[in-house]
Amino acid sequence: TAPQTVLGLETSCDETAAAVVRRHADGRAEVLSSVVGSQIAAHAPFGGVVPEIAARAHVESIEAIAEAALKEAGLGYGDLTGVAATAGPGLVGGVMVGLSFGKAVALARDLPLVAVNHLEGHAVSARLGADLPYPFLLLLVSGGHCQLLEVAGIGACRRLGSTIDDAAGEAFDKIAKAMGLPYPGGPELERLAEGGDPTAFELPRMLLGRKDCDFSFSGLKTAAARLAEGVTHEADRRNLAAAVQEAIAGQLAEKSERAMKAYAQAHADAGLRFVVAGGVAANRTVRARLEAVAQKNGFSFAAPPMAYCTDNAAMIALAGAERLAAGISDPLDAVARPRWPL
């Protein structure tokens, strides 16, 4: 297949992002640029993402960010072979901004459009700049999602398990908020947990007895929030943060191991690869626990570089490029979807 040079656009939550990725004829992916404009400052006073503020901020910055990505890549719109925009799932006001901008570029430059599922973007993110062949077992853990997937190729995901209540990142964020940490709480909680003693607090370990690959974090969230009320000393706060982090990492590792055992039976001859992606993959304790479990079960371990764990447009551009290489594109009336399971 011919090389693809794709502009990716990501506006489904609180980052306005654009990137240019080149997929070479041999399938190798090269990130030519990746620009992420964070809206953290705009949402921080509210302790979380405000959809209306997010949509307006995307409108204000999408064009400048797309142009910055092209400039950083040393290219113009005329050098592109396609445009890929997140079409969901996410905050629909924001999704519409990036998708509409992508449609405008596609129309004006007569380029194919790919309406990318944000989750598929996370699913391919570990292939950015690394040699990771299909198929692989994926733990996708972000602020909105927590699922185990068998990824056989682009557009070929099968779900093995998912959360029955909160996503892991959501649990990090809500517990951090209950502990008085600023938004976004995940990375703040990781920082606070450094040097803390995770055994100092006992927290419920949800669903560990169940034989499936589903997750649950609501019990942990309630228990941790209640404990947080009585904790004031800095050392206790550190210990509680460490215990929370350990409980989340432990559940992710336990369910991943269960999925590995099932996956290994079906895929032994294709090679056993385990991948973690999404914002929570940036957490070092989570990564370490997962890597240990992968090693123990004979799986190789991969995670995207930190910059491609949290939301970015390089992963959207790569998903788009892989779809274009497979002959798949979308009509210009593709719709924004607030919900869109993989």
- Residues at the binding site for substrate are 140-144, 173, 186, 190, 283
Q: Which is nearer to ligand KG4, 190 or 257 (CB)?
A: 190
Query: 285: helix, coil or strand?
Result: helix
When asked if residue 16 is in the footprint of Zn ion (CB under 5 A), the reply is: no
Q: Which structure tokens are listed for 29? A: 């992916």
Angle CA(275)–CA(310)–CA(35) in degrees, nearest 5?
120
| DSSP H stretches of helix in the chain | 40-43, 51-73, 92-109, 118-124, 168-178, 185-193, 218-230, 234-267, 284-296, 314-325
The amino acid that residue 27 corresponds to is G
When asked if residue 142 is in the footprint of Zn ion (CB under 5 A), the reply is: yes
Q: Identify which of 52, 3, 62 has the alpha carbon closest to the alpha carbon of residue 32.
A: 3
Give the CA dihedral 312, 295, 286, 302, nearest 10 degrees. Answer: -10
Binding residue for ligand KG4 (CB under 6 A) from 187, 204, 219, 305? 187
Q: Which of residues 287-326 bind ligand KG4 (CB under 6 A)?
A: 310-311
Binding residue for ligand KG4 (CB under 6 A) from 101, 136, 172, 215? 172
Q: Which is nearer to ligand KG4, 44 or 326 (CB)?
A: 44
Binding-site size for ligand KG4 (CB under 6 A) equals: 19
Q: Which of residues 255-284 bind ligand KG4 (CB under 6 A)?
A: 278-280, 282-283
Binding residue for ligand KG4 (CB under 6 A) from 6, 13, 84, 207? 13
Binding residue for ligand KG4 (CB under 6 A) from 82, 88, 112, 184? 184
Query: 135: helix, coil or strand?
Result: coil
Cα–Cα distance, 109 to 77 (Å, whole number): 7
Q: Minimum distance between the CB of residue 279 and ligand KG4, rounded to whole angstroms? A: 2
Residue 196 binding target from Zn ion, ligand KG4, none, CB below 5 to 8 Å by type? none
Binding site for Zn ion (CB under 5 A): 142, 311
